Structure 1
Amino acid sequence: MSDLITRDISYEVVHYHTELPFKILNVHKKDLYPNKDLSMVNDVLDHWHNELEIVYSYSGDGKYYTDGIGHTMEEDQFIIVNSQSIHKVISARKTPYDKLPATLTTVLQISESFLRSFIPNFDELYFLPVYKATEPRPSQIMKDLAQYADGKVLNKYENMRLIGLVHELLYYICRDDLTLKDNEIPEKSRKNFDILRKIISYTEENFASDITEMSVAESFGYSACYFSRFFRSNMGITYKEFLTKMRVNAAKDDLTDTNKSVLEIAMDCGFSDARGLINMFKKFEGTTPLQYRKKYSPLA
């Protein structure tokens, strides 16, 4: 699960099984709901990668956002995340924990270069985000692939079976779900997402330093007013909120993985003092940094 949960919006480096050009993982409810109830949810935060992502849902509890548009999850439904699309998953917190299936989704991430090898005009095409199969075979393929998730060691010749299943699944999705990118995403929106990715990457590289909305706006040649409107209209939150959440998530990693003091973590994550981290931690996590460490750190 740690491969999916990332700092606010970040570039995800996808690691593959041996020489296979794809990765399979199952998202389990015990990972998303660590308290075994709905009091705390480890939502999958905004991230992006070059891989095509195919998500098969076993539950109808939640929304999958791709490039700012929410798609309600349904049982036996596919969500397709195009290469470089910004995406996240937010729980609806409506279905009781004991009513949720043990596995919420199976996720298949496929190498962009693998796709380009048999889709010549890949850059001109776009997979529609919600794919509802018209026959049972695609769902069965995802259930078969799910058996090879979570780092399972492959036996002799299973590589060939996996490659065959992925090819077959792509046949159905390409046949039914591909369209021209120009028909679905206006050129202006594509340019906006390109700019957002650059802002996101810049923030991820510099959040620990003394950056502000104004300084980032200046770095990209925008007025503070325009930058503020642009970011909020495309991301749904202010840049200050985005930056603060990124810093809090970085602090969460340090709290569970190191023995640093709260002050040291605050300074390393871009806060001016420990009080600033504590206040923002309470706001976004509903607890203090030390309480969080005590509960989740194996070092505590």
Structure 2
Amino acid sequence: MALPLPKGKQITVAYREISSDYEMPSMEVASDHYSLGFMIKGDRRIITPKMNFTLHAGYIGAMRPYIYHRTIPASDSEYVSILIKFSPDFVANMTDTLGPQIMEKIFRYPPITFSDGDREKIFSLAREIYELYNEIEEQDLDMSEGSISRYRLQNLLIHILLEVYDKGHFDSTKATIHESELTEPIMEAVYYIEKNYMQPLKIDEVARISGYSVSYFSRIFARQLGSDFTEYLCITRLKHVQNMLLTTNKSVMEISLECGFSYPGNMTSSFKKEFGMTPLHFRKQNTKL
């Protein structure tokens, strides 16, 4: 269970610097708050029952209450972010006035990305709310209903939410949406694949993690994820290939081997089949190196 908001608080804002190798030891779920994470530095992979997705610097990760999730490193870069946690009641003025669609859009499909200009503005707002929150905390200002400090903080948060709603868009290239909601044993299997995709994984090894026989695991895995084990492992590796093509200057051969493909030629043909272009074409089309 994720830590709840501190007693008497409806919002917290934290600047976090975390080691690149940090990973959640188990699945967590928040029962009393939404979370918005503004990625300043680093790369993280997030596993949830409905989708897996990757966050990079400049992205926002959004998590609503009662969604189990677990995060692991997606690179060896330090993990730096501004994390806003807030209760539904803290933004009730907005949702009562505008309806639920704002929150539904923001929290339905992370990861959220922006154009360069919009990203700079929205991340500036994240720094502004962090500074305001710290000022309120350090000066022990009144945050009761109707207070000026509460009003300022609420308005700034609502401004951020509306900007994310208007300017943000779901980056489908960084996400894998599951065919149906994952059960806990299959989530553990997916977590194991995400951590060990670069190794020569075998289905019996992953089935043991779930506690199922190979035959039963194969059926359940395919039913919940919409692809068999071999296909899912290949797609997972290809998503990491995409990430390395965009974030490193390593050769296609180096990336292929580091992502678990024994033969670069096999990776290239699988990549072209999945994404409609070669790895080099993808890099050229999507990077500004």
Which TM-score applies when normalising by structure 1? 0.46
Higher relative helix content? 2
Please, what TM-score do these two structures have when normalized by structure 2? 0.47
